[in-house]
Amino acid sequence: MAENQNLLQMSHGKDGLGKIEIAPEVIEVIAGIAASEVEGVSQMRGNFATGVVERLGKKNHGKGVKVELAEEGIIVDVYCIMKFGVAIPTVAQKIQDNIRQALLNMTALEADEVNVHIVGVQFENQKYEAEIEDEM
């Protein structure tokens, strides 16, 4: 019974065949993919466990996303690392828009909040390393 509190339930009126339940992990995956599609996002932030799992070959599409089902509605927190040189406010707005649209298209659910947390900036080290090698 406690598991049902962690699922989003939808019904389509009296003509429907039953109810539809969506686990928060599904929303995490949708939001993670939508955020990583935005130009300017280097990677999503995970924890140590997700890093180990990815090294073993399993991709975690919900990495860097936290979904909270509150009384106010669905709250999505996204933790990402940006590429150096991008306009962070512009990219963050695109992340919010992309997540909202993907959730609406795939689940018919509206996110009440999409909070974008920028936790780092990724520099292009390979470019600089190549220049140093050419100088030697």
Q: pLDDT tens digit string along 6-25?
A: 667 766 556 667 888 888 89
Residue 69 gets which letter from DSSP?
A: E
Rounded to two decimals, the pTM is: 0.73
Residue 76 gets which letter from DSSP?
A: E
Domain ranges of the chain: 23-135
The lowest-confidence range among 16-25, 52-61, 77-86, 122-131 is 52-61
Are 88 and 59 contacting, i.e. CB atoms less than 8 angstroms apart?
no
| Residue 71 Cα distances to 3, 103, 106, 109, angstroms | 17, 18, 22, 15
Residue with the larger pLDDT of the pair 104 and 129: 104
User: Within a 10 A sphere around the Cβ of 32, how many other Cβ atoms?
Assistant: 23
Three-class SS of residue 17? coil
CATH number for the 23-135 domain, one of 3.30.70.1350, 3.40.50.2300, 3.90.1150.10, 3.40.50.300?
Answer: 3.30.70.1350
Rounded CA gap, 33 and 118, in Å?
Answer: 16
Question: pLDDT of 50-70, one tens digit each?
Answer: 444 444 555 555 679 999 988
